[in-house]
Amino acid sequence: MADRVHLEEESCGLLLELEHILDSDPLIDEVGFIHPTQLAALIGVVDCDSSGDLDTLKFFNRDHKLGISTQILFPLYKQAKIIFFDEIERYKKQTGISGIWGDETSLQRCKSTLDELEIGVMKHSKVLLLLSADLATAWNSRRAIVLKKDTLSMYMDELRLSELILSYSAKSDQAWSHRRWVIKRIVGKLPNLQEVIGKESKLVERIAERSKMNYRAWNHRCWLVSYMTGEQVVYELKNSRVWAGLHVADSSCFHYRRRLMMRMLEDFCAKNASVSVGSSSEIYDIWKEELEWNKLLIKRYIGREALWLYRRFLSLHWLRDFMTQLDSVIFLDDELHLLHSCSIIPDSDFDDFQAQAMYSTTYILWLARQLSRSHAIVLRQKLQVGDMKDLLNSVCPQRSFFCDMLEE
Amino acid sequence: MGEFAADRHVKYILSVEKRKDDFESVVMEHLRLNGAYWGLTTLDLLGKLDAVDADEVISWIMQCQHESGGFGGNIGHDPHILYTLSAVQVLALFDKLNVLDVNKVASYISSLQNEDGSFSGDMWGEVDTRYLISCFSPVKNKLLKNLSYDRFSYIAICCISILQRLDSINVERAVNYIVSCKNVDGGFGCTPGGESHAGQIFCCVGALAITGSLHHVDKDLLGWWLCERQVKSGGLNGRPEKLPDVCYSWWVLSSLTMIDRVDWIDGQKLVKFILECQDTENGGISDRPDDAVDIYHTYFGVAGLSLLEFPGVKAIDPAYALPVDVVNRIFFGR
């Protein structure tokens, strides 16, 4: 019993200590859970042979980096949780009461308790979220209070907290969704929305660098597109190209490009009320350049699925929305040429070239199935179905049924 | 290829429930209802649901219900549509849907439907400043489109269908919204223009199947994308270029089953992959061979085997994600 009381006091002390660190250094931009031996190395403890010494090391905070000993995570979380849920209960009750009671003094008294409770909920939910990033109830409590105060500085604090959490928990659904909630709240309040959107896009790129093929991060970046101006869309497309060229296996970054390209196409169609895009427009040049760039990558990085799937999209729209019948014959000839050059499998590097041959074959077949009737007829005449069957059988026999779809 | 260690998996699932004294297990407390659904459905698929005390589970579940009618992931946590479906599914497993106030749950779900037919996951899809004070109480309000995800459409539709109250939501609008999330590759994203993802595809195809709207799907095109998820090892991934993961044995396979293209992948190779992900000593299934097991992957591995008609595993319904006999009991009274 005495032991339990002692433990509870100690974990309460841990919570206070952490909250003090967070309060005194609001610019903390990285958090890590660190084994005590590593913590000792960071702090520079020279002599820490005995485990007793290690147990006394709990936090590290320097240059706005926060380290928490893995030894204390469990008691810290337990304590924060008890206090948070207790406080949130009282807060709910209090918000109910202050709405009903009318007279001045009791209202005044309520208000000061309410303020204290709000400060407490904000403090404890922060610690809880640092330890368990997807605890929705804690995020909800913050939203409720921030919404009530409705000040720009509080919204900006929320963006900072979510960024801090994403710095080590890049897949946290809740942290990403919290950002979208904040941005939607401040859209009307900001004179420089485009700047915020631009920064947000850069943030995704930084996180995507550390956390590969992160669906939530890229989904967030795609969501930003609807808030971008036309110029911003073109800028994003050009500026994220180098990154994409260095991450050719990250299919999500190519989906982001798809989203940007489609936004340009939609804008163009809305403005010009035409179904096909003439060769004198900016978007025509951009689309053509994208196709050429994609081909360059395909030849440089052998056997990359993401690049071939991106090409399916680019070529389909190119033929559908940009090409006349005559142009399309030339384009399809080029694509067949690409297929032939990619379906040769040399003896060396068997795996990658095998993959390249498979992706190029399924690329052409996919296109032949998806094209409009007139284009499909042109392509199917050029492709000998028998030849394609042989090719498919040699590069991926398990999917030979793809050819059957052409015969229908 | 190892054998299927059914008994060990049962033991593993029962042991997970008892773990409460380390950081890894307590930080998952907020989604305990999801965990209960994964674990208990697996037990039922393996014919061992009677190994747990039904009354104890049901009484705990009912304590997770909020006054709005929705369920939180655990006692004291805020309600969300995700956990509401899990609660309804687990009650269905135990044939105890009658303990629910169906109208209340149905009205919670229908209150989350937006103008455009989509669903928000909880009240926080809401942005209207008029609800400043009452933000802790349930609100029925016009919710903003962008916070809603397609998976919420599935969750809402599946849940309300199990409760046999499809008429309490606007099905036509819900279907239109789902169709607006369709991509040029035949797949579906979580919002219009979102990247195709096997998990999202399951949600969209499942919702369309339940509402009898599968004619909106180009089955050959979607089947094409889905079967390309099978990689050399036999496992399935959820998106291009990703490593295979046991959970996609469920997401991809159930979708292929619903659109009648399950023979487009190599089932034998997939069975082999799933079996290789077992911990044959202590039970449980992991995402990939030699990784640590968890309850989520154990469920999806067993559910995948069920769709592949593996002996000793009960059949699972690909749309409702419940054993077929449970679904039959709900809709046909056995």
Amino acid present at B148: S
Asked whether the beta carbons of residue A95 and residue B136 sit closer than 8 angstroms, the reply is: yes
Q: Given this model, what pLDDT does residue B295 score?
A: 94
Amino acid present at B261: R
Mean pLDDT, chain A, whole residue set: 89
CB A321 within 8 A of CB A330: no
CB A161 within 8 A of CB A120: no
Q: How far apart are CA B301 and CA B245, in angstroms?
A: 9
Q: Which residue from B minimizes the CA distance to A368?
A: B221
Highest-scoring range by mean pLDDT, A166-175, B132-141, B260-269: B260-269
Instruction: Write the CB contacts of B24 (distance below 8 Å, at least 6 apart in sequence).
Output: none
SS3 B290: coil
A181 interfacial to chain B (CB closer than 8 Å):
yes
Nearest to A76 by CA among A21, A8, A136, A161: A8
Contacts of B195 in chain A (CB under 8 A): 215, 218-219, 222, 251-252, 255
Asked whether the beta carbons of residue B241 and residue A150 sit closer than 8 angstroms, the reply is: no
Contacts of B32 in chain A (CB under 8 A): none
Q: Structure tokens of A246?
A: 């260095």
What is the reported pTM? 0.92
Those of residues 322-361 in A touching chain B at CB distance below 8 A are none
Contacts of A92 in chain B (CB under 8 A): 136
Residue B289, in any domain of the structure: yes
Helix (H) and strand (E) counts in chain B: 14, 2
Taking 60 as the threshold, does the pLDDT of residue B135 lie above it?
A: no
Residue B193, in any domain of the structure: yes
CB A121 within 8 A of CB A141: yes
Supply the range of the domain harboring residue B94.
6-332
| DSSP structure string for A5-30 | HHHHHHHHHHHHHHHHHHHH-TT--E
The Cα of A149 is separated from the nearest Cα of chain B by a number of Å equal to 9
- The band of A191, judged by pLDDT with boundaries at 50, 70 and 90, is confident
Nearest to B131 by CA among A99, A377, A106, A87: A99
Contacts of A404 in chain B (CB under 8 A): none
Taking 70 as the threshold, does the pLDDT of residue B141 lie above it?
A: no
Q: Given this model, what pLDDT does residue A374 score?
A: 81
Which of B34, B82, B126, B135 should we substitute to test contact with A (largest number of A Cβ atoms within 10 Å)? B135
Q: Given this model, what pLDDT does residue A23 score?
A: 93
Instruction: Write the CB contacts of B246 (distance below 8 Å, at least 6 apart in sequence).
Output: B235, B273, B274, B277, B285, B286, B287, B288, B297, B300, B301, B304
Asked whether the beta carbons of residue B23 and residue A74 sit closer than 8 angstroms, the reply is: yes
Contacts of B144 in chain A (CB under 8 A): 184
Residue B88, in any domain of the structure: yes
Q: Given this model, what pLDDT does residue A52 score?
A: 60
Helix H or strand E encompassing A2: helix A2-24
Helix H or strand E encompassing A61: strand A59-62
Contacts of A73 in chain B (CB under 8 A): 23
- The band of B191, judged by pLDDT with boundaries at 50, 70 and 90, is confident
Q: What tens digit of pLDDT does each residue of A276-286 get?
A: 777 778 999 99
SS3 B38: helix
Share of chain B above pLDDT 90, in %: 83
Q: How far apart are CA B22 and CA A142, in angstroms?
A: 27
SS3 content of chain B, % helix, strand, coil (to 5): 55, 5, 40
Taking 60 as the threshold, does the pLDDT of residue A155 lie above it?
A: yes
pLDDT mean over B117-137: 52
Q: Which residues of B touch A (CB under 8 A)?
A: 21-23, 26-27, 30-31, 72-73, 76-78, 80, 122, 124, 127, 129, 132-133, 135-136, 144, 146-147, 184-185, 189-191, 193-195, 197, 220-221, 224, 227-228, 230, 239-242, 264, 266
Establish how many alpha carbons lie within 13 A of residue A128's alpha carbon, considering only the half-sphere containing its beta carbon.
29
Residue B1, in any domain of the structure: no
pLDDT mean over A58-73: 93
Contacts of A215 in chain B (CB under 8 A): 195, 197, 239
Q: Structure tokens of A58?
A: 């709990």
Nearest to A73 among B23, B184, B185 (CB): B23
Q: Which whole-number Å values give the CA distances from B244 to A296, B196, B264, B267, B301, in the listed order?
A: 28, 16, 17, 14, 12
Q: Given this model, what pLDDT does residue A220 score?
A: 95
Q: Given this model, what pLDDT does residue B123 score?
A: 86
Q: What tens digit of pLDDT does each residue of A17-56 get?
A: 999 999 999 999 999 999 998 888 888 765 555 556 677 8
Which of A73-82, A317-326, B73-82, B312-321 is least confident?
Answer: A317-326
Q: Which whole-number Å values give the CA distances from B46 to B4, B185, B305, B311, in the listed order?
A: 11, 36, 11, 10
Which residue has 């061992």 as its token pair? B48
Q: Given this model, what pLDDT does residue B144 score?
A: 28
Q: Which residue from B minimizes the CA distance to A222?
A: B194
Share of chain A above pLDDT 70, in %: 91
Which of B124, B266, B270 should we substitute to test contact with A (largest number of A Cβ atoms within 10 Å)? B124
Taking 50 as the threshold, does the pLDDT of residue B155 lie above it?
A: yes
Taking 70 as the threshold, does the pLDDT of residue A101 lie above it?
A: no
Contacts of B197 in chain A (CB under 8 A): 215
Contacts of A370 in chain B (CB under 8 A): 184, 221
Q: How far apart are CA A254 and CA A83, in angstroms?
A: 45
Asked whether the beta carbons of residue A184 and residue B127 sit closer than 8 angstroms, the reply is: yes
Q: What tens digit of pLDDT does each residue of A276-313 get?
A: 777 778 999 999 999 999 999 999 999 999 999 999 99
Which of A128, A219, A260 should we substitute to test contact with B (largest number of B Cβ atoms within 10 Å)? A219
Q: Which residue from A minimizes the CA distance to B24?
A: A74
A98 CA to centre of own chain = 40
Q: Given this model, what pLDDT does residue A372 score?
A: 83
Residue B95, in any domain of the structure: yes
Instruction: Write the CB contacts of A388 (distance below 8 Å, at least 6 apart in sequence).
Output: A361, A364, A365, A403, A406
Nearest to B57 by CA among B39, B30, B70, B69: B39
Q: Given this model, what pLDDT does residue B139 score?
A: 25
B137 vs B149, more confident: B149
Q: Which residue from A minimizes the CA distance to B239?
A: A251
What's the structural domain count of chain B?
1
A171 interfacial to chain B (CB closer than 8 Å):
no
- The band of B134, judged by pLDDT with boundaries at 50, 70 and 90, is very low
The Cα of B23 is separated from the nearest Cα of chain A by a number of Å equal to 5
A408 interfacial to chain B (CB closer than 8 Å):
no
Asked whether the beta carbons of residue A399 and residue B264 sit closer than 8 angstroms, the reply is: yes
Contacts of A118 in chain B (CB under 8 A): none
Asked whether the beta carbons of residue A222 and residue B194 sit closer than 8 angstroms, the reply is: yes
- The band of A98, judged by pLDDT with boundaries at 50, 70 and 90, is low
Residue B196, in any domain of the structure: yes
Which CATH number goes with the domain that contains B131? 1.50.10.20
Which of A83-87, A269-273, B28-32, B50-54 is least confident?
Answer: A269-273
H helices present in A247-349, as ranges: 251-272, 282-300, 305-317, 325-342
Q: Given this model, what pLDDT does residue A15 score?
A: 94
B78 CA to centre of own chain = 19
Q: Given this model, what pLDDT does residue A190 score?
A: 87
Asked whether the beta carbons of residue A77 and residue B26 sit closer than 8 angstroms, the reply is: yes
Q: How far apart are CA A160 and CA A144, in angstroms?
A: 17
- The band of A405, judged by pLDDT with boundaries at 50, 70 and 90, is confident
Amino acid present at A227: Y
The Cα of B333 is separated from the nearest Cα of chain A by a number of Å equal to 37
Asked whether the beta carbons of residue B241 and residue A185 sit closer than 8 angstroms, the reply is: no
Residue B226, in any domain of the structure: yes
Taking 80 as the threshold, does the pLDDT of residue A348 lie above it?
A: no
- The band of A146, judged by pLDDT with boundaries at 50, 70 and 90, is very high
Q: Given this model, what pLDDT does residue B259 score?
A: 98
Residue B152, in any domain of the structure: yes
CB B4 within 8 A of CB B312: yes
Q: Given this model, what pLDDT does residue A74 score?
A: 93
Nearest to A22 by CA among A129, A104, A166: A129
CB B229 within 8 A of CB B238: yes
Which of A13-17, A51-55, B119-123 is least confident?
Answer: A51-55
